[in-house]
Amino acid sequence: MRKCTLICGVSGQDGAYLADLLISYGEDVAGTTRGINTNSLWRLEYLNIAESVEMHIMDPVIRDDVERVIRSLRPSKVYYLSGQSSVGYSLSHPYETMQSIAIGIANLLDVCREISPETKVYNASSSECFGNLAPGEKAGVNSRFNPISPYGYSKCMAHWLVRWHRDYIGMNCCNGILFNHESHLRSDKYVTRKIIRGACLIKTGRESRLRLGNLRVWRDWGWAPDFVRAMKLVMDRDVLADYVIATGTSHSLEELGKYVFKVLDLEWEEYVVIDKNLKRQDDILYNCGDSELAKSELSWKPSVNLNEMLEIMIEEELSGLEIERRAYGR
């Protein structure tokens, strides 16, 4: 077995931050992506680690791809962060979502079980498994699953596949049940980045309105680098177990948006338009996580609160827009 860590989905937000963290600890990091083009590795480039990650092309849905990479590397640890990651996209593409999330982790577990049984496996589980919570309720590792989207159902299936391989097959694998976590490395298709980018475009005179859907949803939002730090702490244990990773506080989308506009000295009511076509009837209305187990057993806690996270993201967005202006004259 090679003393190397494999990150499946290394080109995404979490994969890039995790690679950066592990490299800083001196780990030998390899990563997979389904294809490499001029834009796919921009997050690794942004963090200045693209040359430090050994890249492999792998589609987790294709078992032969997974076997080829695992047989080549025999990694000591694998983080499965791959798969379709948009709840909204899953509503119109449920089969693709299920394949990339559940079939992907099933292939990885099956291959590791067969040819690299000592490999430790981490699966990125999700707060979407819990579905709607009652206001004030917090979900922990033993809370009931009640998903309401194809994405949530797919994550539940993946979660239980990992549990089965650990409890009945004896593999050293685990789930990290992560609540919402954001950064400037998010795509602007996600609502937090959409709000921040939209507000910054208004501030710089490039847009005049921001169109949003349901502002009455509440989420437990955290800072992505804090959450990948938790992933490492989970995998550093000799015997793996499941943990919820969350801040333990929930805020409304309206509260988040108003703070962004306040930081930019903009009037929220003047620029935001509510578009009923952007509202999803099956949106989770409230979630919040109980991460006390992670705090007590891993000594983990978030280092950045919501407002601090938003301020960092605003600063990065404005900086990126200025670079665009200089490069493209817009």
pLDDT, tens digit, 9 for 90 and up, residues 69-118 = 999 999 999 999 998 878 877 888 889 999 999 999 999 999 999 999 99
Average pLDDT, the chain: 94
Q: What is the pLDDT of residue 85?
A: 78
d(C-alpha 297, C-alpha 243), whole Å: 10
Alpha carbons 254 and 276: distance in angstroms, whole number: 15
Q: What is the DSSP string of 285-326?
A: -B--B--HHHHHHH----SS-HHHHHHHHHHHHHHHHHHHHH
Cβ proximity of 127 and 138 under 8 Å: no
128 catalytic residue (yes or no): yes
Q: Where are the alpha helices (DSSP H) in the chain?
A: 13-24, 42-46, 63-73, 87-92, 94-98, 104-115, 150-164, 191-203, 224-235, 253-263, 268-271, 292-298, 306-328
Structure tokens at 293: 């187990």
Q: Is 125 among the catalytic positions?
A: no
> In this predicted structure, what is the pLDDT of residue 91?
81
Catalytic residue from among 128, 153, 154, 259: 128
Model pTM score? 0.95
Domain 187-219+250-288+304-328 sits in which CATH superfamily? UDP-galactose 4-epimerase, domain 1 (3.90.25.10)
Given the residues 151, 153, 243, 259, select the one marked as catalytic: 151
Q: Which of 126, 149, 250, 291 is catalytic?
A: 126
Position 323 scores a pLDDT of 84
| pLDDT for the residue 37 | 67
Fold adopted by 2-181+222-245: Rossmann fold (3.40.50)
pLDDT bin (cut points 50, 70, 90) of residue 40 is confident
Q: What is the largest CA-CA distance in the chain?
A: 60
Domain boundaries, given as residue ranges, for the chain: 2-181+222-245, 187-219+250-288+304-328
Alpha carbon distance 308, 302 (integer Å)? 12
